[in-house]
Structure 1
């Protein structure tokens, strides 16, 4: 007896159900890992963007021979975004039309919190560099290390602490980012 070609093609119902079940188990295992990867990627991206802006301000200060600043876009909160400008009139504040706006960054997603120490935590926070590239305080020649902490607010407290990133600006102007959870030198009270 001759068999029909069509009777031998395809999957049986049992084979299809088993395949779908295996795929579902694999996705259930991979999904949490992917979410963690995505969260880490978003946090790292924001940290690198802010670090890049700080380094841009330092470079502009040395290039132009004038003080350069990184300030929150709304002048009070880092989570509103931030601007980098060169202070052409030496008034320690952004003056539209006079100062040079080098970079303007939009607010990060609402689930990020950015807090700072020293100048970066003032009622009008800022990060400033002089013409030699040294971090400076308004009305003073230098400052102690300044730290910005970036963390997520859409996760549990323990997960937020696990995923926190810091940007440290040394008085010499050197900047770096680190993870406090895995780097014991990543503190808000460094002396370098």
Structure 2
């Protein structure tokens, strides 16, 4: 009785590996696009959550609460952001001021640009006790604008109106109602 050896030859294994390499090579760019879109979606959701937290704390405490870039000069949102109570009015989180939330830096290659009705530096978003977006120096003065996240050709705009309400939109899908940061 003869036994036949079961298995694959080296040639068969090389053909299978070559086909797998071709398939992976074709799928890799699509996978990278999916990952970039997902990172953009996560960053936009994190920023919306921070804005909602800022607004809800302002309403709960009956006074202004701020959201601003974490970076020392207050001009680079990509380094992260912080929700804080600005006791001294300088629009920066200082020692001794209550810090409510802090988010770390954005993924490499992602940008975050802001444009508001008052282009003050350091950059910030403030809400007053009524839950409306406002100026840091005057909680009765409305302040509105757009935070725009971009990565790999994809963009998400977070539009904040005069009442402090926000909406997230994709300018590639809805260009008429979702202009850029300068609209």
TM-score (norm 1): 0.82
Shift in CA distance, 65/136, structure 1 to aligned 2, threshold 3 Å: same
Are residue 133 (structure 1) and residue 125 (structure 2) matched? no
Deviation at 1:125, TM superposition (A): 0.7
Matches within 5 A, 1:65-104: 65-73=62-70, 74=72, 75-87=74-86, 89=87, 91=89, 93=91, 94-97=93-96, 99-104=97-102
Match of 1:112 in 2: 110
SS at match of 2:136: coil
- RMSD (Å), alpha carbons: 2.3
2:162 counterpart (171, 175, 180): 171
What is the distance in 1 between the residues matched to 2:101 and 2:118? 18
Match of 1:147 in 2: 146
Shift in CA distance, 149/175, structure 1 to aligned 2, threshold 3 Å: same
Deviation at 1:120, TM superposition (A): 7.8
Are residue 180 (structure 1) and residue 177 (structure 2) matched? no
SS at match of 1:8: coil
What is the distance in 1 between the residues matched to 2:46 and 2:39? 11
Match of 1:20 in 2: 17
What is the distance in 1 between the residues matched to 2:117 and 2:79? 17
Deviation at 1:95, TM superposition (A): 4.0
Deviation at 1:46, TM superposition (A): 1.2
What is the distance in 1 between the residues matched to 2:123 and 2:20? 51
What is the distance in 2 between the residues matched to 1:42 and 1:125? 23
Higher relative helix content: 1
Structure 1, unmatched stretches of 5+, are 153-158
What is the distance in 2 between the residues matched to 1:171 and 1:77? 24
Deviation at 1:67, TM superposition (A): 0.3
TM-score (norm 2): 0.85
Match of 2:28 in 1: 31
Rg comparison, structure with higher value:
1
Which region of structure 1 is more displaced relative to structure 2, 13-22 or 58-67?
Answer: 13-22
Structure 2, unmatched stretches of 5+, are none
SS at match of 2:89: coil
Moved over 2 A (4+): 12-15, 89-96, 119-123, 138-145, 188-191
Number of aligned pairs?
178
